[in-house]
Amino acid sequence: MFADLKAVATDPILGLMAAYKEDPNPNKVDLGVGVYKDEQGHTAVLNCVKQAEALRLKQEDSKTYIGMAGDINFNLHMEKLAFGSSHKALLADRLTTAHTPGGTGALRVAAEFIKRANPDATVWVTTPTWANHISLFQAAGLKVKEYAYYDYETRGLNEEAMFADLAKIPAGDVVLVHACCHNPSGMDLTFAQWQRFTELAQERGFTPLVDMAYQGFGAGLDEDAAGLRHLADAVSELILCSSCSKNFGLYRDRIGAVTIMSQNSAQAQNVKTNLLSVVRSIYSMPPAHGAIVVSHILDSTELTALWYQELAEMRNRINSYRQLIIDKLAAQGVEQDFSFITRQHGMFSFLGLTKAQIAQLKTDYSVYMVDSSRVSIAGLNHSNIDYFAAAVASVLKA
């Protein structure tokens, strides 16, 4: 049965992780993996999480299943974080949420749900998009196409080409849009562009699928959800996939959520039965720990305030390094314009380097990034940024 299986190529990022770990260079720099790191290069457990976990250990009295929808209190908190506590869709019982094993689990559940709702739907993703998006939807048997998004020449949004593509998408198809901190480019829609996107969704009749993996990592919790909220005010249906990996630092606890916004509360009941049926067929019940930790944090005024503080510290550190990269490269005599880095948001940026330059950085300097020149800015700190800038300057001048 297994004799005819062929080896599958290693995911580029996972391969990069392995190469970095094996590199003996004490000055090596890892800019490939999309996890937040502090000034010591460590992905620490947030203090608010530690306190919530202590409370969970004290209060937990059972390990029984928590149901297919997961923790109901967590689900409500996630709806309020994303849509706002007074959004009309929430107040009208139009939202249906299931907590999932990470944001990836949310996307896979969404994919299977789309397949049930419209087996002929095509899912449209940005060019480029997160590397796993396409395979997730294809694994559910959905067709996937791309629409224009990032302009590699201007290092900005390919706005007119994007809206020209969106204007051709037929009703019944699904358009994935990143809520904030676009992965991999860091280039987000402005609010005016969100308004234009919303108008096209209404005119064309496609269903928006909003992937919000980094809420709070861009400009702030409410600011990062502004586009989603405007969209939800105008359209009758949408799908939201969210994650607590980054903003709560719960990477290995795998906690996310999928939310379906229906036209009305009666439709939402039908959506719920189908959504939970999808969950049952994939993993049956979600893990409890991460969801209950988040619930403990958001149930507590004190822990919520601590979370806001810690989230702001992570966001501000990343944002400060955007300008610092530009300054350090200029100090190395680099004349190329890197000002686009400060126009981007979140952990990632395209540096615009060639594959040959990226290979040289890896071979000669042990600076690791993916072949697209996407870097995780959180991988930089005060002990390695000068080395990084000197390495980049060297390959640019070669």
Residue 246 known to be catalytic: yes
Exactly one of 37, 246, 328, 362 is catalytic; name it: 246
Q: Which residues contact 395 (CB under 8 A, 6 or more apart)?
A: 353, 357, 360, 361, 364
Exactly one of 30, 165, 211, 253 is catalytic; name it: 211
Residue 211 known to be catalytic: yes
Nearest residue to 314 (alpha-carbon basis) of 375, 386, 248: 248
Exactly one of 37, 71, 130, 307 is catalytic; name it: 130
Q: Which amino acids are annotated catalytic?
A: 130, 211, 246
